[in-house]
Structure 1
Amino acid sequence: MSTAKGQIEQLLGAILQESTEEDEEVLFHLLNGLRDKQQGIHRRYINAALHMVGKFEPEVSEVRIPITPVIHNTIKVPHGGIIATIADAAMGGLASRSVPEGYNVVTTNMNVSYIATTKNKELIARGRFVHKGRQTLVMECDIEDETGRKLAIATGSFFVIQRRL
């Protein structure tokens, strides 16, 4: 067994000995995400850790993540940085699918205005285009919970780059 595997087993054992139910819920969530990544369900660790799923159509996108303690801030509601992350995923994912083969996009600017918070079950980010240029794309995004309660609005600018190998 490798040194890292032994250290992981030791750490997991220590964590489980002292764990709360919430600790166990978080660990289960994160390990399931890692398993999904290993099985090819997710390509990126961040998507796997957040259990992020997305639908992308030519003009609109939708990205969803479950609300769990993994994404809570100190007052047990979704962390603002996580809301910004799924907004970026919804807008950037849509933008990247709109550029020619061999190109991709990078976020150059993003603004998030937070409106409300939620203790419900899911965050949903819906992205759309404001402007499609050859080198820059401007996007908008609404972030809601599954009841339709608007939590935030975001705008983002994306720059088209040649894809690196």
Structure 2
Amino acid sequence: MVPSSKEEIEQLLAEILQHSTVEDEEVLLHLLSGLRDKQQGIHRRYINAALHMVGKFEPEVSEVRIPITPVIHNTIKVPHGGIIATIADAAMGGLASRSVPEGFNVVTTNMNISYIATTTNKELIARGRFVHKGRQTLVMECDIEDETGRKLAIATGSFFVIQRRP
């Protein structure tokens, strides 16, 4: 008999917990609570749930935050550059998508990021704003900081307006 997905998950969780470190348990709790939040409708996308991403979007500016946990660490235990780029894209793209007419959305066509510093603090914060609003393209800027205001990176992004898929 082939085990069901739930049986495989239960077996894998039991094996992981049997050999887990405190950090493993922290990561597992973080990921599982994010998945629960997705199921409860707090997050619409798995990536937002996995990162515990929260955002505020006003007409001209945005702010996206994620906690700094081992989930996002690189090998030297600081936030991975790809995660910093991800929240910059979320801050800029989220703001851009809210600015286009109903029935349309945006896709990232280009993103450039310059890393300035790293942090071991508690939170990453990306703040996006417009540089150019065209009918078909939008150009954005973003500053990424930690909760102390330490600037970690700056990013720019270009976004193309597309018709929303059903």
Q: TM-score by structure 2 length?
A: 0.98
- Give distance in 2, aligned partners of 1:100 and 1:36: 29
Deviations 1:128-161 (A, max 9, x none): 0000000000000000000000000000000000
- Give distance in 2, aligned partners of 1:131 and 1:63: 20
Q: After TM superposition, give the deviation of residue 104 of structure 1 in Å.
A: 0.1
- 1:102 aligns with 103
- Give distance in 2, aligned partners of 1:112 and 1:4: 40
Deviations 1:23-49 (A, max 9, x none): 000000000000000000000000000
Q: Give secondary structure in 2 for the equivalent of 1:100.
A: coil
- 1:92 aligns with 93
Q: After TM superposition, give the deviation of residue 84 of structure 1 in Å.
A: 0.1
Deviations 1:68-109 (A, max 9, x none): 000000000000000000000000000000000000000000
- 1:129 aligns with 130
Q: After TM superposition, give the deviation of residue 123 of structure 1 in Å.
A: 0.0
Deviating runs (4+, > 3 A) in structure 1?
Answer: none
Counting matched residue pairs gives 165
- Give distance in 1, aligned partners of 2:145 and 2:91: 13
Q: Give secondary structure in 2 for the equivalent of 1:105.
A: strand
- Farther-moved stretch of structure 1 (2-11 vs 57-66): 2-11
Q: Give secondary structure in 2 for the equivalent of 1:63.
A: strand
- How do 1:18-57 residues align onto structure 2 when only pairs under 5 Å count? 18-57=19-58
User: Which structure 1 segments of 5+ residues have no match?
Assistant: none
Q: Give secondary structure in 2 for the equivalent of 1:123.
A: strand
Q: After TM superposition, give the deviation of residue 2 of structure 1 in Å.
A: 6.8
- Give distance in 1, aligned partners of 2:3 and 2:115: 46
Q: Give secondary structure in 1 for the equivalent of 2:50.
A: helix
- Give distance in 2, aligned partners of 1:2 and 1:142: 48
- Give distance in 2, aligned partners of 1:101 and 1:53: 23
Share of identical aligned residues, percent? 90
Q: Give secondary structure in 1 for the equivalent of 2:71.
A: helix
User: Which structure 2 segments of 5+ residues have no match?
Assistant: none
- Give distance in 2, aligned partners of 1:58 and 1:2: 50
Q: After TM superposition, give the deviation of residue 120 of structure 1 in Å.
A: 0.0
- Give distance in 2, aligned partners of 1:17 and 1:95: 45
**Aligned alpha-carbon RMSD (Å):** 1.0
